[in-house]
Amino acid sequence: MQAFLERYWFAVALSIGAVIWVWRTRLRIRASARTRPRSRPSSGSVGPVPFRGAEFAAKVARVQRFHWSWIGAMIAFGLVCVSAFVVPGLLHATRIGVASVAGAGAFLSWLVGAIREAPLLRQLGLYCPQCGAALVEASEDQVPLQLVVKETGQCRCGAWLLDPADLPSGQGPDDRYLSRSRQGPRPPADR
Ligand SMILES: [Zn+2]
């Protein structure tokens, strides 16, 4: 077991990291769903916006499917790697062989996912036209930007990306999501 950990720690660490990330993301998404209704500007008053609500949701869903298959592949390879050493009755050489292939698979899936993420976002146009932030993110310490945009219509920099009419019922601009420099008194259109 010790030799296994020494050799394949990266595959195990990747899987554990992926599981923790999934869990923390779910917690944050649930926390952001418990907010009071907020008022919003009238439709069309925020100038031209790059996305319609449904179009943005569809594009985000496509990136999230990509993220899930990316994370799923890493978890699957990690599990194979671990089970190669815990399943009884295998030859030592078989364990090493399976674990090596699965460990390499976990690393390769991480690499392929990391390489393909940016081109996919570019292809879908999922970058903020004002600050250049990627609009689908796997942030560790804050509500993911795709959720901020979906619920407030704004990027953290304050740029409007969705028309207020496309926001879900009870949702509107929210100062808490704007980056510090943009926080301050709400514009009159907001009341
Ligand atoms: Zn922005």
pLDDT grade, residue 44 (50/70/90)?
confident
Asked whether the predicted pLDDT for residue 191 surpasses 50, the reply is no
Residue range of the domain that includes 115: 2-190
160: β partners:
154
Cα 169 to averaged position of ligand 1 atoms, centre (Å): 23
Cα 127 to averaged position of ligand 1 atoms, centre (Å): 8
Cα 145 to averaged position of ligand 1 atoms, centre (Å): 10
Distance CA 169, CA 97 (A): 54
51: β partners:
162
Residues near ion ligand 1 (CB < 5 Å) are 128, 130-131, 133, 155, 157, 159
Cα 102 to averaged position of ligand 1 atoms, centre (Å): 39
Q: Which of 67, 177, 183, 170 is nearest to 126 (CA)?
A: 67
Average pLDDT value for residue range 116-134: 95
Cα 157 to averaged position of ligand 1 atoms, centre (Å): 4
124 exposure class (CB count in 10 Å sphere: 0-12, 13-18, 19+): middle
pLDDT grade, residue 180 (50/70/90)?
low
**Per-residue model confidence (pLDDT) at position 97:** 94
Tens of pLDDT, residue by residue over 136-177, are: 987 667 888 999 999 999 999 999 999 999 998 888 888 888
Average pLDDT value for residue range 114-127: 95
Cα 68 to averaged position of ligand 1 atoms, centre (Å): 25
Tens of pLDDT, residue by residue over 25-40, are: 888 777 766 667 788 8
**Per-residue model confidence (pLDDT) at position 181:** 60
Cα 151 to averaged position of ligand 1 atoms, centre (Å): 15
Distance CA 15, CA 78 (A): 6
* Whether 148 contacts 155, CB under 8 Å: yes
Q: What total number of domains does the chain contain?
A: 1
